[in-house]
Chains A and B, each alone.
Chain A
Amino acid sequence: MTTQVSQPGAVSRREFLKLGWGLLAGVAALEGGLAAVQFSLPRVAAGEFGGVFTCGPVEAFPPGSVTPFNEGRFYLLRLDDGGFLALYRRCTHLGCAVPWDPTTNQFVCPCHASAFDQTGQVLNPPAPRPLDRFAVAIQDGQVRVDTSRPLEREQFDPSQLVYA
């Protein structure tokens, strides 16, 4: 005799199939959702911003100068001691473009009045951290700035400066 007696707690065929269909539907929904998220991911940045900028020869930037590079969204600064620093001009508060004010030697954000000193440190909130910077490299006397990744920092530190 092959009569099957269902044991207490055993999974019936109906329950098994229900579970199977449920799992399949869940997997399908997950796949669809993931595909939709991946579909909407940012396309790789094309164009200028995000690449490496060659700013010019070291001598073109006298100590104490602030030079805007609008295409690269950054300022190239040369501090009085000759050190180079590239600051992303995006305000760390909400993303407005921060202009340089040469009369006060500050970056002052027009949106919410955050102010930053020449090294990008916060002088006036609401900005929560100093201006982000980009990596600077000096090769063959040329200053190069890599805008592919903004570097966040808690405060200014002389090790962030690059010397010719």
Chain B
Amino acid sequence: MSESTSAPDPFWKKLWRSAVREPYTGDRRSRLRLVMNNLILHLHPAQVPVRTLRFTYSWGLGGLSALLVVLLAVTGAMLMFVYTPAPDQAYQSILALNTQVWYGQLVRNLHHWAGNALVVVVALHLLRVFFTGAFREPRAFNWLIGLALLLLTVVANFTGYLLPWDQLAYWGITVGAGILAYVPVVGNWLSQVLLGGPEIGPATLLNFYGLHLSVIPIAMLFLMSLHFWRVRKDGGLSVPRGVDEAPVLKDENVTTFSDLVRPEAVWATVTLTALVLWSMFVNAPLEPLANPDLSPNPAKAAWYFLGIQELLLHFHPLIGAIVIPGLALAALAALPYLSGDMDSVGVYFRSRRGRWLAAFSAAAGALLTVGYVLVDEFYLDLPALLPSLPTLLSNGVVPLAALLLGLIGYHGAMRRFFRATRCEATLSVFVLVLTGFIGLTLIGIFFRGPGMALLWPWEVAGH
């Protein structure tokens, strides 16, 4: 009797219950059910080992990458409503965006800086996974998916770079496509297909627009889903441990909601606030309208390519732009499948000796890189020393062979003189090459002025 007389639930209550079936009561079971039953939250497991929550282990870099991708999708969609992908209108539409659209400049800034930040964050994520040894089985395949995502991030940045159709865009892409043309056999053809003709023109802009707005985002969305799914299938985050600690077999678990979700929300809020503040005060660069008759001096590629552009000053283009980056990528992909001789997953830099060797290799890499650039710039002229050889050999294969022998020798020296395990020696070579690449990139950004001459940063800034 009493049931029939109680008032029927109001409409909004029915609607709410049809969407969220289980009421949330806050007890442990309810917290677990909440994560399992929510589409977004169930990207996480329902509970996680308490140790993996340590912020200074993961630095939240994977989640941060995902957050930036979402921000890029939202701001990118907004930009679509203003931008026209035609050479005679593209630059005008960016100007209109900056001056006539409410918050237009801010949205463009956010998109620009989030895209640049994504390159940095994804690279840091890779470093974190490498330095904690988390790339080994069972996570080996996810490491490969991550590498593919890193490449997609760079390609997404590269294709977006052309769209404003200013001088920066036009000549950055010209140089980039010029690099592509050095791929053996198919390079010229590839560059022509990508550009839609022999030089950058209307077809190029349309090609890049299509890639930037559909092909790359769809590929990224697919690979990201696979990446997240594999994290769970491969047993979640690797568990951090101290440098002298034995592997943790059983760890205390906590519920994801809200012991993991709360710090994630804090980190996301902090990052978003920082990005918005930065974008309020620092505008995305926009140079004058693209002018095919006038290459600016110096003509630099996007900053994340300046390490490769610096290599181009020292090596034949085939070696500097194709072979060396190709070898580096292949080595990265092969890393999880090389035999490891120590159990160090979860320990930053493998061991105490690993930490010491990493610091040593970083210093060595920085010194050797600066030294090589200076010597090659002012003293060494291989083509003149080896006049009988074509420059592909004298300025390409010969220094490349010396470089590779040097790396093998370095690996051997670590093993012999520092009694490093194979894992520690590989780590040392990795850090040596990494600091070399970072060094080249910094030289390319800050120390190259007009005519690509070596200058001090304040002199470069003056031009």
Contact = CB atoms under 8 A, between A and B. Distances in A.
A77 B31 CA distance: 79
B199 A73 contact: yes
Given A43-B203, A95-B174, A111-B171, A70 B196 contact: no
A99 B174 CA distance: 16
Interface string B451-463: 1110000000000
B175 A94 contact: yes
B295 A128 contact: no
A43 B196 contact: yes
Nearest to A88: B198
Contact of B175 (A40, A50, A95, A113): A95
Given A96-B171, A97-B294, A42 B299 contact: no
Interface residues of A, number: 28
Given A96-B174, A110-B297, A113-B452, A125 B195 contact: no
Contacts of A45: 197-198
Interface string A112-154: 1100000000000110100000000000000000000010000
Interface string A38-52: 001111010101100
Given A94-B312, A95-B177, A113-B452, A42 B296 contact: no
B452 A112 contact: yes
B381 to A, nearest CB: 9
Which one of A41, A73, A95 has the highest number of Cβ atoms from chain B below 10 Å of its Cβ? A95
Contacts of B313: 112, 126
B192 interface: yes
B193 A111 contact: no
Given A94-B179, A94-B312, A95-B177, A109 B295 contact: yes
B450 A110 contact: yes
- Most chain B Cβ neighbours within 10 Å, of A49, A93, A97: A97
Nearest to A110: B297
Contacts of B171: 96, 111
B182 to A, nearest CB: 9
A49 B199 contact: yes
A70 B192 CA distance: 21
Given A110-B299, A110-B450, A126 B199 contact: no
Interface in A62-107: 70, 73, 90, 93-99
B198 A97 contact: no
B336 interface: no
B293 interface: yes
Nearest to B206: A43
B295 A110 contact: yes
Tell me whether chain A's interface is mostly helix, strand or loop, or mixed. Answer: loop
B383 A128 contact: no
B325 interface: no
B199 A111 contact: no
A41 B193 contact: yes
A110 B452 CA distance: 8
A93 B317 contact: yes
Contacts of A40: 193, 207
Contacts of B181: 95
Contacts of A70: 292-293
Given A94-B174, A97-B292, A112-B312, A42 B317 contact: no
A96 B317 contact: no
A99 B295 contact: yes
A71 B203 CA distance: 17
Interface string B383-405: 10000000110010000000000
A111 B292 contact: no
A128 B391 contact: yes
Contacts of A108: 451
B298 interface: yes
B236 interface: no
A55 B5 CA distance: 98
Contacts of B298: 110-111
Contacts of B174: 94-96
Nearest to A94: B178
A21 B445 CA distance: 55
Contacts of B391: 125, 128
A10 to B, nearest CB: 39
A49 B200 CA distance: 12
B316 to A, nearest CB: 7
Interface string B280-307: 0000000000001111111100000000
Interface in A4-51: 40-43, 45, 47, 49-50
Contacts of B203: 42-43
B395 A125 contact: yes
Nearest to B174: A95
Interface of B: 171, 174-175, 177-179, 181, 192-193, 195-199, 201, 203, 207, 292-299, 312-313, 316-317, 383, 391-392, 395, 450-453
Given A43-B197, A94-B179, 18 more contacts: A40-B193, A41-B193, A42-B195, A42-B197, A42-B203, A50-B198, A93-B178, A93-B317, A94-B317, A95-B177, A96-B171, A96-B175, A97-B293, A108-B451, A110-B295, A125-B383, A125-B395, A126-B316
27 contacts: A42-B192, A42-B193, A43-B197, A45-B197, A45-B198, A90-B199, A93-B178, A94-B174, A94-B175, A94-B317, A95-B177, A95-B178, A95-B181, A96-B171, A96-B175, A108-B451, A110-B450, A110-B451, A111-B171, A111-B297, A111-B299, A112-B313, A112-B452, A125-B383, A128-B317, A128-B392, A150-B198
Closest 8 CB pairs of A and B: A94-B178, A110-B297, A95-B178, A96-B295, A111-B299, A113-B451, A97-B295, A70-B293
